Structure 1
């Protein structure tokens, strides 16, 4: 039996930090306030990138913004994050990234050495990913108004005709694949702020996932149903969005979800769920069961995909829910992120 998913209404009187966290509050803002005014056939899909045809060319476009604090953290910085984050939204929509347009919002008083460091990081990340920075804009705001630097981006890519991704393609029995450990980025940035007396040997996982996505498509194109990078709100929020859009249930094997010991330990101390913590270099794919094993093997052969695993499967009911099974035979409902326990992480 298919359960009807309730229409979202936006009743909040003010915008709060939680509205930008990627969880329930973000969903209320987007689907309850923004979408009713801006609705159209492309936007209503609420994908990470929009696909459109221009004079016969199938293109993908996306936009993003980055307000991470601090600007630099172990394993990356705001400049590198801006490139990789934009590329990844294109990649998980089934598009090869080609080029980015980038806008810099700079705070008066920002050290020019910091600015040059981030421009170099942008250039290096773009070179490694094989994309061009083809334009942009620069604005300067008053001291104290931008935490040093914000970056906004727009990305364009070519849609890969081998795949047709949509929540409506997801079927009972499909397998849920994850490319690697979760939570590295969110916990790394949190600890880099120095506000919590914890030490851990962690680095952000920021990287382009296009090589992994391409390897997956090469061997399992016809069986790839849906993909998403679990950034704000983590794996839990991405899968809840899928369950709601596809009107299916996602059954997770919680023990199969790879989490580094340092991330798990920090989450236990802070009362956080690793499934809610942001990743910036991983992605989730739903693959037809007959193609799941070959897809998994392809990911594990690809550089950086050695930790890929199957973490669950799609079921018909209870529609709209993500259910996690423990090693002890119990189960729990894994909800979307509520609130914003880790603000300003991307």
Structure 2
């Protein structure tokens, strides 16, 4: 097998569709990026028959003993995790045999095994999931999206720093940061967000204070920080609204010959619009704060969406985000103590 310059580990069993989607998406990614190589981790009896139908160079297979259930609890994840397809993929990152891991497994499993097998960056308390949400004239990076339902002020501050690092690695220096709250006034919100607000105001970040949900879609900040409970509700609501609007728009454009003619004439613009708001187009949320790169895919991802997550993992691995996060956390801590 010809080696690529970047090697990824892919959990073949995560998600609703399993190997049928992950194997095909892996081959698509290898075709897309000649410098990429991928190792699939999974059960031989399920993976090998699928591999026979996909002849891909730079694709290898690493067998495992078990697969984690989507609703597995932390105790079961810790007990079975090392022998699972997800555990095998993460162990490859921990040992340096892969530069990133991709899985459509549960957030609980990724969090639990990520901390256990890969480990946390020095100074970071908890990992956080981050993804881009379409906004006016671009996107807003939002974290946390469900990894931490309850957080303290220090964790929110660390989420902001991690989000800023990702933006900087994407070429956006001094990203605008906002803290999600129920209002813009400093007296609004519970004690945790008010404390985090004070802490962020003392750091050398371009902090824009409290923001509300509509500010995220208006693109008033580049990084929106929140707890995982609020972030997950925001993400799922936005995705549900987008699907409903697409469905309603489709019905409206088929309602008569004038509507059909108009949709045909505007088809290019409509296709671009639909693609920008399609959740599958933005699949792949990095789990920030670990010593290695881990990217979570939507559980219901199809072949195209899984491809997006794999390519996202490759991009994250090339940015050296974990090292930069650890450096900034250390510098800001030193400033606070000086």
Shorter-chain TM-score range = under 0.3
More strand by share: 1
Structure-1-length-normalised TM-score? 0.27
Structure-2-length-normalised TM-score? 0.27
More helix by share: 2
Higher relative contact order structure (alpha carbons within 8 Å, sequence separation ≥ 6): 1
Question: Which protein shows a greater Rg?
Answer: 2
